[in-house]
Chains A and B, each alone.
Chain A
Amino acid sequence: MPDARAASVTEGLSEETMVINMGPQHPSTHGVLRLVLELDGETVVSCEPVIGYLHTGIEKNTEYRTWQQGVAFVTRMDYLSSFFNEMAYCTAVERLLGIEAPERARVIRVMFMELNRVASHLVWLATTGLELGAISMMLYGFREREQILDIFEMASGLRMNHAYMRVGGLSMDLPDGATAKIRKFLKMMPERLKEYEDLLTENPIWLERNKGVGILTKEDALALGVTGPLLRAAGVPRDVRKDEPYGGYDEFEFDVPTQAAGDCYARYLVRVEEIRQSLRIVGQCLDRLPEGPVMVEDTKVAWPGDLTVGPDGIGNSEEYVKHIMEESMEALINHFKLVTEGFKVPAGEVYQPVESPRGELGYYVVSDGGNRPYRVRVRDPSFVNLQSAPVMVKGRLVADTIACVASLDPVMGGVDR
């Protein structure tokens, strides 16, 4: 009897799958990502990400601006890890020029990059918490991030998209009080991190939504070119800072956290541990900070002027203005040429990889000897990582799609450039 009734109920039901569209305007897709999902009930049969909704043509735009102006463009690609974009670009151009930034600039660059990593992971924690329902995590993550943004604003003048690193060093030195502020932040952050772990790590709902969800095996990850916390959560201890050190990273002591499970929970653990390691590096930077200039000496390349805080805000220092206007004609001409025309970079090509919070960020810069880049190609980690979304999501429920995409941590500015 029950069998006959069940059969009659399912008789008229169709077996077709349904195709629905998630995004590009969606609160949980981490930006303007469109997922075309083919569903069988609640189970995802296939998923196709459609991207390009934030394409800004930055790669083409850099070909029409000078080398120094390129920093302002590339910093806006992956807007949550803007210092990494600047570092990779500046290091690539410095390699083409054959110069090296001074020691103090190198240490400050590492320090700000690691602070940016902490800020980026905090945004990841905040938005992932929001998307999975832990809404209080959103408020906590942004609260700590504000402290880091205060430090950035003190040094560069901007909270986001700072064009602070320039070719040859930094645009300005750290102001007084910046190191004290960073030390205060370092003292405060570990206990806040412990608060987040108390909230989430053993939380049964968090475990239920993340453990065993979105598994990406080691072989799949390597075949798809995935890098960053996704790869490290799958068991591969690959980190560009350790394998191919750049910018002085080989002088710092830090560990590369890895997990073996390859699911969303493993990625969460990896990222929280990375915040800890980044704080460790920032502490070492503060201890090691040498005195000295922050811009290279070569006047043909160094950004002219010595930016200081004057009576009307940040601008060229008064001695420098006096020097170029009254004392030296060559300095004035040099200043004029550098600002309008820029410097020339010898012909060649270089690939500079950097470990951004999302993975390997690579800049392939080609120069033809002129004062403008010939080609700036950005290998963005989110672009390549997003290819693993269909693999992770296949056969799982729709709600797991949100958890999987959130654990990928894609930033659409980097994906679409």
Chain B
Amino acid sequence: MNAGDLAARLSPKFTEAVVARDEVTVTVDPSGIIAMLEFLRDEPGLEFDWLSDVSATDRPGRDPRFWLAYHLYSTTHHHRLRVSAGVPESRPSIRSVTSLFPGASWLEREVFDFFGIRFEGHPDLKRIIMPEDWEGHPLRKDYGLGGVPTRYHGAFIPPVDERGS
């Protein structure tokens, strides 16, 4: 199914269905994520039975602040879909989709590690890439890049995120 037809089929069910650059993005309320993914998996003609990626983006200006993106794929129809869910900063948590897609286990752990979003129902939610006792969530926009400034022959070069433009 091409992007236009897919969007037309989905828009009654979701708050928003956007087609851009040959891709369909639907927005969903985080409380209904499991029901929506089940619907997308079981509905004949859609059959999004494979999860490609779970990731998050930090948009500090907006409310909700964290936007999760679930990239789905259908092995029978070969079409893709992006499901977006916004999670507020005050309560950054959402249901885990590992019951539907066991492969999301590590992907959700990585989102927790880098953004601090908790996944309820995840079998083993702990940091995966940063050390166990690391403080802070590195991919948030208010977390600095780190790194050391350089001093050489009288010149001072600050680290990358503190430089001019």
Is there a chain A Cβ closer than 8 Å to B93's Cβ? no
Is there a chain A Cβ closer than 8 Å to B92's Cβ? no
Cβ-defined contact, A51 with B128, below 8 A: yes
Given contacts A225-B50, A244-B78, A384-B103, contact A349 B25 (CB under 8 A): yes
Q: Which residues of A contact B55 (CB under 8 A)?
A: 364, 377, 379
Cβ-defined contact, A95 with B21, below 8 A: yes
Interchain CA distance A366-B105 in the complex, whole Å:
24
Measured CB to CB, the nearest residue on chain B to A351 is B71
CB-CB nearest 3 A-B residue pairs: A225-B103, A52-B129, A379-B53
Cβ-defined contact, A360 with B52, below 8 A: yes
Interchain CA distance A60-B127 in the complex, whole Å:
17
Cβ-defined contact, A362 with B53, below 8 A: yes
| Tally of contacts, chain A with chain B, CB under 8 A | 94
Q: Which residues of A contact B128 (CB under 8 A)?
A: 51-52
Interchain CA distance A386-B129 in the complex, whole Å:
13
Measured CB to CB, the nearest residue on chain A to B50 is A222
Cβ-defined contact, A364 with B69, below 8 A: yes
Residues of chain A at the chain B interface (Cβ within 8 Å): 51-52, 55, 57, 59-61, 64-65, 95-96, 98, 222-226, 236, 238, 243-244, 341, 348-351, 353, 360, 362, 364, 366, 374-375, 377, 379, 383-384, 386-387, 416-417
Interchain CA distance A95-B21 in the complex, whole Å:
7
Q: Is the interface of B mostly helix, strand, loop or mixed?
A: mixed
Q: Least Cβ distance of A324 to chain B in Å?
A: 22
Cβ-defined contact, B107 with A384, below 8 A: yes
CB < 8 Å neighbour of A64 from B53, B71, B104, B160: B160
Cβ-defined contact, A387 with B105, below 8 A: yes
Interchain CA distance A272-B21 in the complex, whole Å:
36
Cβ-defined contact, B145 with A223, below 8 A: no
Q: Least Cβ distance of B16 to chain A in Å?
A: 14
Interchain CA distance A348-B69 in the complex, whole Å:
13
15 interchain pairs, CB-CB under 8 A: A65-B160, A95-B21, A222-B50, A225-B50, A225-B52, A225-B101, A226-B103, A350-B23, A362-B53, A364-B69, A375-B57, A375-B58, A377-B69, A379-B71, A386-B106
